[in-house]
Structure 1
Amino acid sequence: MRRLFPLLLLLATSISSLAQTRYEPTWQSIDSRPVPKWFEDAKFGIFIHWGLFSVPAWGPTERDGVGIYDRYAEWYWRKLTDPNAKTYPLFTKFHNSVYGEDVKYQDFASQFKAELFNPTEWADVFRQSGAKYVVLTSKHHEGFTLWPSAQAWNWNVMDVGPHRDLAGDLIKAVKDKGLRMGYYYSLYEWFNPLYQADVNAYVDNHMIPQMKDLVTRYKPDILWTDGEWDHPSDVWRSTQFLSWLYNDSPIKNDVVINDRWGKETRGKHGGFFTTEYDLVHEGTSEGVKFARPWEECRGIGGSFGFNRKENLADYSTSKQLIDVLIDKVARGGNLLLNIGPTADGRIPVIMQQRLKDIGDWLSVNGEAIYETREWDKAPAIGKSTTTYFTRKGNDLYLLCTKWPEQPVVISGVRKAGKVTLLGYKGAVTTAARGNGLSITPPAVSPSANPSQYAWVFKLEGAL
């Protein structure tokens, strides 16, 4: 007992010290908080863009010769009302011919009914996909909320449209399946009169109370902000809000945030850093080394919100999506893959199919993805790379997005305790070669092939 007492005292002191950590409303203090480990371990999440924009569900595609950001169907209202936008003629032509010039965007609220929405079925799709967390648009730039927000009177799902708490119903179903869930939240609102008249009043009387309500009401695991680019973080009162979030909120110990908290903060401040369709503020994610955990977000198609104009050619194949997941994880990041449900509450079948294929692949190869980290001795990753590496403890994983026809030599690894091909019961031949280890891929019959998309060799004790 005498020996145990000092250990108990040390443990109690450590817990007390942790509990007393206070984060000041400065970026230096906020940035000192580590990103909770669960986020880096999760690796794969599902993004959901759902709102009034899901009613028209329309935007240009790559076939129209527009850029990435011009293909976002969730920007329908803004592009429809901005004569300076280069896609303005496309949106107005579509809107006027389908709905008529007298129909306003606000009229879509009565058509957003979500009558086929089954949160349990959605949660099953997410769990089967192998995703470990989910992020739903609680409010996009249109300001319409998917929960009964007091700050969005008559502009939320309880007052109009579905007359149902979509955000609340989904987070319960998702967490019941053992997954993490959080919310996307747009700091700004395009046409909110208060925002247009007095941004300070908007922040103090609308945005901050609304975000605090979202946090205290649902206790999300993630707060994924966006729409920060109009103002620096001091205007948004970002550090003041985050100080409350980290010190006094009911999710202070486990919540994860991103880096979109002011026009100057992406890739510099906040929690994890974000890329979007590989774009960052300077250059692309290829070759960029981030100082913090990071996450790539992208759609299965060219838009985040459901776009009825997209056809099969506009959607990434299952093979392409699995390759993206491997690429991001091997670089040390996460993948947040977006789906765009329909206004009546369905996940499009093609999106379900893509998610199922990813889940099937992860069911065999997930140990090379989940809880792994980037291997600091891995060869540089380029556009033509087909062999990637991840590590976990003393084990190394070789992920091949193309079946290797010849032996693969891993430089810097001289031996491994055991080398296996995940999902394959046969032996794998290895041999020392120079300063590396040569792995000869086995002759695998179609019936014994563990995957049709990518293959993983596990090198036990190689590190």
Structure 2
Amino acid sequence: MPMQPWFRDAKLGIFVHYGIYSVEGVPESWSLYSGTLSREAYMAQLDRFTAAAYDPKAWADLFARAGARYAVLTARHHDGVALWDTAYGDLDVVRRTPAGRDLLGGYAEALRARGLRVGLYYSHSDWSHPDYASVVHPEPPNGDVATHPLVVPQDGVEDPGAWARYLAYRDGQVGELVDRYRPDLLWFDGEWERSEEQWGLPALAARILAGRPDTVLNARMLSHGDYATPEQGVPLLPPDGPWELCLTVNDSWGFQGGDHRHKSVHQLVRHFTETIGMGGNLLLGVGPREDGTFLPEHVERLEGLGAWITRHAEAVYGTGAGLPAGHHYGPSTLSADRRTLHLVCFDPPREAVSVRGLRTAVKRVRVVGTGAEAAHRVTGGLHDVPGVLWIDAPSAADTDPHATVLALELDGELDLYRGTGRG
């Protein structure tokens, strides 16, 4: 299926990890897996998960102010706790927590009302389901996948019947998500614990696309995924095809009250522009508290990033990857018609900004957001090797506190020299 055009131009999404793990502020599902909490202690959080101040309209408004075009909410993480009233088992926040209601319907409705695309996260794995630890990955990618008691049968005896029941449960829940909430994107996880054949991904993909043919699927659907999802580690080279960098505002996916390592707005602008400059989207993670409200520090960061995006929207939306490394010392984006190049400068330029290897003549340079024009000239060049373009540094009044963007209006489509110079 061709990639949906909306995804390539979305640029920013918000990743929301919300579940019972926010009650104690422990790592989502992983505190159960690691034994940091016993199963009894982990599941005791069900009794105190209220979602008392959960306001999906306020969420959607915040995400829109951040400049996001989509969001992804954890419908069910590895712990097996569903955020909707599922007919497959009873481990959900409707039956088992004081929240007592479906948390997905209002989310989907509020996003659509703000023109945002609806994404739902779902884990293939479920460390609470009685039939999950019934088979073993034929080629385990790590030792845990071969031995962990939440993942594989401890007596070493596989139970294909139990595994078939588990897949029916998983497929039934995914079907509910597709049919009830009509997600634009399904963000799967947990795929490393089984092979593609064991997961039955061809049938699952067919079920999803039969219900909603335009659904975008991430790479954790393996060969049925539409785009790559590097996580936390910023790639130095862009993955092939569409991709998205998953990155948290602090160091945690879900709410953890002791994690105060919040990235600054300046850092987020840097991560964002580096990502879109390589042709990707940024999926920025924030974890609400158990009542459904976000930390003030995270609201501040999202609004700060959104203010920068609003001032520089022409260099964000409707653009693609810019110059390869070495032509300009910073990220850049290129307009869809390939006639406007946007240079991002993280530090205020001192004397001049240089661009190397630019064959296309430059008609005009202006500062995005203020419209101030900057003089430019070319020095050097020989035969087919272009000279260096020098752009006079804008005045201090025209620089941005986080990143200044220069728009180069080209006399034709971008043409770059990539050679080694005259021998």
Q: What is the TM-score normalised by the length of structure 2?
A: 0.84
On the 8 A contact 1:117/1:344 being kept in 2, the answer is: yes
On the 8 A contact 1:398/1:456 being kept in 2, the answer is: yes
| Aligned counterparts of 1:225 and 1:380: Cα–Cα separation in 2 | 36
Amino acid paired to 2:340: D
User: Is the aligned partner of 1:370 residue 2:317?
Assistant: yes
Amino acid paired to 1:260: R
Aligned ranges 1:47-66 → 2 under 5 Å = 47-58=15-26
User: Is the aligned partner of 1:286 residue 2:286?
Assistant: no
User: Is the aligned partner of 1:325 residue 2:272?
Assistant: yes
User: Is the aligned partner of 1:395 residue 2:340?
Assistant: yes
* Deviations, residues 15-39 of structure 1 (Å, cap 9, x unaligned): xxxxxxxxxxxxxxxxxx2211110
Residue in structure 2 matched with residue 42 of structure 1 by the alignment: 10
| Aligned counterparts of 1:290 and 1:34: Cα–Cα separation in 2 | 17
Q: Cα distance 1:169–1:443, how it changes in 2: closer, same or farther (>3 A)?
A: same
Cα distance, 1:190 vs. partner? Answer: 1.0
SS of the residue corresponding to residue 426 of structure 1 reads coil
| Aligned counterparts of 2:389 and 2:215: Cα–Cα separation in 1 | 42
| Aligned counterparts of 1:55 and 1:260: Cα–Cα separation in 2 | 28
| Aligned counterparts of 2:29 and 2:251: Cα–Cα separation in 1 | 11
Cα distance, 1:439 vs. partner? Answer: 1.1
Cα distance, 1:191 vs. partner? Answer: 2.4
Cα distance, 1:73 vs. partner? Answer: 4.6
Cα distance, 1:118 vs. partner? Answer: 1.0
Cα distance, 1:429 vs. partner? Answer: 1.0
On the 8 A contact 1:128/1:356 being kept in 2, the answer is: yes
Residue in structure 2 matched with residue 442 of structure 1 by the alignment: 394
Residue in structure 1 matched with residue 93 of structure 2 by the alignment: 157
Amino acid paired to 1:294: W
| Aligned counterparts of 1:208 and 1:415: Cα–Cα separation in 2 | 56
Q: Is there any run of 5+ residues in structure 2 with no aligned partner, and where?
A: 135-158, 381-385, 415-423
Equivalent in 417, 427, 431 of residue 373 of structure 2:
427
On the 8 A contact 2:188/2:218 being kept in 1, the answer is: yes
Cα distance, 1:132 vs. partner? Answer: 0.6
Q: Is there any run of 5+ residues in structure 1 with no aligned partner, and where?
A: 1-32, 59-71, 82-90, 93-100, 279-283
User: Is the aligned partner of 1:353 residue 2:296?
Assistant: no
| Aligned counterparts of 2:194 and 2:310: Cα–Cα separation in 1 | 44
SS of the residue corresponding to residue 439 of structure 1 reads strand
On the 8 A contact 2:74/2:122 being kept in 1, the answer is: yes
On the 8 A contact 1:43/1:371 being kept in 2, the answer is: no
Aligned ranges 1:241-390 → 2 under 5 Å = 241-246=204-209, 248-249=210-211, 251-252=212-213, 254-261=214-221, 265=222, 270-278=225-233, 285-287=235-237, 289-311=238-260, 314-375=261-322, 377-380=323-326, 386-390=329-333
Residue in structure 1 matched with residue 142 of structure 2 by the alignment: none
| Aligned counterparts of 1:102 and 1:432: Cα–Cα separation in 2 | 67
Q: Cα distance 1:380–1:166, how it changes in 2: closer, same or farther (>3 A)?
A: farther
Task: Report percent identity of matched pairs.
Answer: 32
Q: Cα distance 1:160–1:191, how it changes in 2: closer, same or farther (>3 A)?
A: closer
Cα distance, 1:48 vs. partner? Answer: 0.1
On the 8 A contact 1:222/1:256 being kept in 2, the answer is: yes
Residue in structure 2 matched with residue 208 of structure 1 by the alignment: 171
Cα distance, 1:379 vs. partner? Answer: 2.3
On the 8 A contact 1:203/1:236 being kept in 2, the answer is: no
SS of the residue corresponding to residue 115 of structure 2 reads coil
Residue in structure 2 matched with residue 416 of structure 1 by the alignment: 362
| Aligned counterparts of 1:103 and 1:185: Cα–Cα separation in 2 | 23
On the 8 A contact 1:203/1:237 being kept in 2, the answer is: no
Cα distance, 1:426 vs. partner? Answer: 2.5
Equivalent in 116, 124, 132 of residue 179 of structure 1:
116
Amino acid paired to 2:350: E
| Aligned counterparts of 1:150 and 1:73: Cα–Cα separation in 2 | 23
| Aligned counterparts of 1:430 and 1:234: Cα–Cα separation in 2 | 58
Residue in structure 1 matched with residue 132 of structure 2 by the alignment: 195
* Deviations, residues 366-397 of structure 1 (Å, cap 9, x unaligned): 2212232113x52259xxx8521110122111
Cα distance, 1:425 vs. partner? Answer: 3.6
On the 8 A contact 2:248/2:286 being kept in 1, the answer is: yes
Cα distance, 1:74 vs. partner? Answer: 4.6
Q: What is the TM-score normalised by the length of structure 1?
A: 0.77
Equivalent in 125, 139, 142 of residue 62 of structure 2:
125
On the 8 A contact 2:10/2:69 being kept in 1, the answer is: yes
On the 8 A contact 1:74/1:304 being kept in 2, the answer is: no
On the 8 A contact 2:232/2:245 being kept in 1, the answer is: yes
Amino acid paired to 2:18: W
Amino acid paired to 1:36: Q
On the 8 A contact 2:131/2:166 being kept in 1, the answer is: no
